[in-house]
Chain A
């Protein structure tokens, strides 16, 4: 055999560099002092310390490892036996089953995920009818009527997409196996299982090991199928990351990935060194006597394959981590399932609430109001508490999806400023407790614009072509165009809406937009990658912390002002816990801390008034009045703003059509 040329080696090296470059970058930024993934602020182990205190990450790590391990073990065993079974079938039957087996691999992840979600939800509905009937005809056994997505469904989904990989690895090994060997073993008096254990298993072991490793990798890496099947009570690491990649990846995530990664690398190194040493010893032993028969035949001395050891070591490490993290879990706790937006809470509040009340908070995030609505409708999100915006709340109330709140258990509701009570979306205030409020405006980089923009026109002008960021949600994107055209942002007039969509489409085709973004705007504006973007005031303040060149304006044509409020979903299984959570979050202290963390204005009167003093005490410097007014827009700005109201179904359909049309273009 020819050895590879230097050029070949160099090429391989380049490919590895390509594969590892982003990972190296991630590892480097896990040691970053500040919370940016772009701007280096000095070396620090800060995020590693934070990591171990971040319960959300630790919990999702635990779920991820547990589900991956269980799915790997179960699918490896099941897949191996299924492969043996397939092997014994006649060709036609085998081909048919293999085709079905390949479906999860051939199918897009998102389709598999959605399909399973639809299936589970349909099954739960059937189960409910069955359980109600069953409970009514006998009294011995009471079946639970309400089943929800959760860890079991997550596990089922993982097993389902893992088995095909095991099967795919084991089957070729079986095909290489001489059938007569098994017959011979059985002729010699072995039972089938003895023959399996002594003859088949050693032959197909490499296939099993690589199948198991592939299955584990697939489970660890999966995001979208988990997203649809995990329900509201369990989150995998990928789901947590998804919530975080929106604004900025919290460097804690970099830190945990680094730890996982380095652990695996170290394990590989240890195994490899040990192997090398063993081999050397074996060689030394064999150096003196003449070569063995096996060696003359060109066979290597028998040893467990490297891969098997690697897999075993990885499994051990994973079990260890799972056990350690699992020791901190308490599953019998009362829980509350919350869904909010990305980076929309001071996470220490969650810890504090858990410690004070003993109620476990399962905290997930959605991308936008529309995404939340889809999650609720498809049945993938069975939350207790959600934090939608005004117009979505009225839509949810209309569709009878919200539960009335028990205000007697929410004494802190009295602290909410009267101007945020009885708003149009909930006129008699029976369903909501406001969480934050704020305005939408234009964020611009003073170093990149010639003059500060004052009108929405900059969103459609060629002046900053290629440097403008537009909203990636229909309601906000259309609002910018409607405002510029001088229409109400709640218009239901088809011609006006089409004109607005046409304005965006036209600007898009002229290359005005660099991208349609949601929370990615934070990274883009902070890094100076775009000159202009429309977004929420609170997030602007958060960006300005990392890039002092940024500025914010509520354009002259006016804008949207919004309220996000906490609501409880119909038939929420943890109603009392939900009340406790809402009350806790409505407190002045929680509002102050949230304001300080997320820079969105609080509806809590005391908190809003006290914030400048709170800021001064905390940072020993005065709070800039402009900053304060950006966060909590004064009356003269609010006068120019309009809040969204829920649109009729017809108009919503038109929005969808126009919006999809924009994306297709």
Chain B
């Protein structure tokens, strides 16, 4: 297998150019002022944004937990269906992503509006209208909706590969279904759970489209804050880079701590 090492060279160069170098650019920006000189000023004001950091991480965490609570049972139930049902279902879970996420989120706006589908329906029974859109709840809903497939698929891919004889052995040894699940199936599916959590949490914590469209744009999330600096009304790429850097560091730390609990290298597949 010696020659295969050479295969890493092109991709390593590619990564150095298009992954590492751009990140270095962010690093340089984060530590420079508008005039280009070195400064720590971008970080000195970081405390002002604590509220936004807390808000973003809280909402992303809630969304991730909901995704896990919905996604795990679905993945588990799916793995018990027939092979044809499984293969169709996995594709069906992925398929919504082919409809652009902006469109899907836009569609949610029409559903949740004060005069939207749900409120119109409730109105038939003389209920409401309830304020659903432009709330944090709507933002969480948007996150759950958009990233749920990222939770289901990795968990499913791990569970479906589980050796069923392990479960049978547990039963033979006197474990009931609950115990077998808790002691055998769940621990073995952890790699899937961990990658699911990562894949839901990271985009949730940095989203800006969802919070603008469903959250009313009144309360910034980290993504909004960064977007404002790079693209929006408050152009300041240096500060944007600094915020992005702090966010990255926190996310990486979270993931690192979490992966300590799982098996380091075993990562699950998306599909």
Contacts from A to B (Cβ < 8 Å): 1-4, 8-9, 11-12, 15-16, 18-23, 25-26, 37-38, 78-79, 81-82, 84-89, 95, 97-98, 100-101, 103-112, 114-116, 118-119, 122, 156-157, 159-160, 163, 165, 168-169, 171-172, 179, 182, 192, 207, 210, 213-214, 217, 220-221, 223-224, 237-238, 241-242, 245, 249, 253-254, 257, 260-261, 264-265, 268, 272, 275-276, 300, 305-307, 310, 367-368, 370-371, 373-375, 377-378, 466, 472-475, 508, 513-517, 520, 523-524, 527-530, 655-656, 659-660, 663-665
Contact = CB atoms under 8 A, between A and B. Distances in A.
B87 A307 contact: yes
A663 B219 contact: yes
A172 B269 contact: yes
Given A108-B206, A115-B23, A214-B270, A261 B99 contact: yes
Contacts of A106: 198, 202, 248, 251-252, 255
A84 B22 contact: no
Interface residues of B, number: 116
Nearest to B16: A100
A663 B233 CA distance: 11
A221 B25 contact: no
Contacts of A182: 1
Nearest to A375: B231
Given A8-B77, A19-B145, A88-B4, A217 B244 contact: no
Interface in B51-91: 51-52, 70, 73-74, 77-78, 80-81, 83-84, 87-91
- Which A-B residue pairs are the 4 nearest by beta carbons? A108-B206, A85-B7, A515-B216, A115-B22
Contact of A474 (B11, B81, B234, B270): B234
Given A109-B203, A110-B206, A377 B269 contact: no
A257 B96 CA distance: 11
B19 A104 contact: yes
Given A103-B20, A529-B113, 7 more contacts: A4-B77, A81-B7, A109-B203, A111-B244, A172-B267, A221-B97, A660-B228
A22 B108 contact: yes
Contact of B233 (A25, A370, A515): A370
A621 to B, nearest CB: 29
B48 interface: yes
B102 A245 contact: yes
Given A108-B223, A114-B26, A371-B231, A378 B237 contact: yes
Nearest to B9: A85
Contact of A276 (B84, B117, B208, B244): B84
A407 B43 CA distance: 48
Given A4-B80, A169-B271, A100 B20 contact: yes
Contact of B29 (A105, A118, A472): A118
B98 A260 contact: yes
A364 to B, nearest CB: 13
Contacts of B114: 514, 528-530
A85 B5 contact: yes
28 contacts: A21-B111, A22-B108, A79-B11, A81-B10, A85-B7, A105-B202, A106-B248, A109-B203, A110-B227, A111-B244, A115-B22, A156-B18, A172-B266, A172-B267, A179-B1, A207-B269, A241-B100, A257-B99, A261-B99, A268-B91, A374-B231, A472-B217, A514-B134, A516-B217, A517-B217, A656-B235, A663-B220, A665-B219
Given A26-B103, A370-B233, A370-B234, A38 B116 contact: yes
B234 A168 contact: no
Contact of B203 (A18, A108, A508, A515): A108
A245 B26 CA distance: 30
A399 to B, nearest CB: 12
B98 A217 contact: yes
B235 A112 contact: no
B269 A169 contact: yes
B94 A213 contact: yes
B141 to A, nearest CB: 10
Contact of B11 (A82, A245, A265): A82
Contacts of B26: 111, 114-115, 118
A253 B103 contact: yes
A375 B8 CA distance: 36
A119 B208 contact: no
A26 B104 contact: yes
B18 to A, nearest CB: 4
A119 B21 contact: yes
A492 B266 CA distance: 59
Contacts of A261: 95, 98-99
A116 B22 contact: yes
Contacts of A515: 133-134, 216-218
B8 to A, nearest CB: 4
Nearest to B222: A108
A23 to B, nearest CB: 5
A38 B106 contact: no
Given A22-B107, A23-B104, A85-B6, A656 B271 contact: no
Contact of B97 (A38, A122, A217, A375): A217
Interface in B24-56: 25-26, 29, 48-49, 51-52
A322 to B, nearest CB: 15
A640 B160 CA distance: 70
Contacts of A84: 4, 7
B100 A374 contact: no
B15 interface: yes
Interface in B103-123: 103-104, 106-111, 113-117
Nearest to A22: B107
